[in-house]
């Protein structure tokens, strides 16, 4: 709270879930892993193929959280709400694990 009260710009509370990158030998391997990831609830997962043919499968969850706290130095939320956000982010971290 002390840091927020001293802020002069915009402050955002942000939680980002884990991302697991898997290098795959074959596109079929990446497609199978992608299907398993999506079926397991990791809907933001995807496959990328680099210029050199490197196939990477990224397993991503949807457990992100991004909330503005202050704007131009003005605190926009209460301390109670910030405590709530920390609790929600900690729950999301447990889900990551």
Rounded distance, CA 58 to CA 37, Å? 9
Q: What pLDDT is stored for residue 14 in this prediction?
A: 95
* pLDDT tens digits, 3-52: 888 889 999 999 998 899 999 999 999 999 999 999 988 889 999 999 99
Q: How confident is the model at residue 66 (pLDDT cuts 50, 70, 90)?
A: very high
Domains and CATH numbers, the chain: 11-95 (3.30.1960.10)
CB atoms within 10 A of CB 31: 14
pTM score of the predicted model: 0.70
Alpha-helical segments (H) within 1-97: 2-6, 27-39, 79-96
For the beta carbon of residue 34, count every other beta carbon within 10 angstroms: 19
């Amino acid at each position: 709270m002390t840091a927020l009260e001293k802020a002069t710009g915009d402050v955002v509370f942000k939680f980002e879930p884990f991302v697991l990158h898997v290098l795959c030998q074959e596109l079929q391997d990446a497609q199978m892993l992608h299907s398993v990831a999506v079926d397991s609830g990791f809907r933001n997962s995807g496959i990328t193929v680099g210029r050199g043919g490197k196939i990477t499968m990224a397993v991503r969850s949807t457990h992100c959280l991004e909330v503005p706290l202050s704007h131009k130095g003005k605190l926009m939320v209460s301390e109670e709400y910030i405590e709530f956000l920390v609790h929600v982010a900690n729950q999301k971290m447990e889900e990551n694990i």
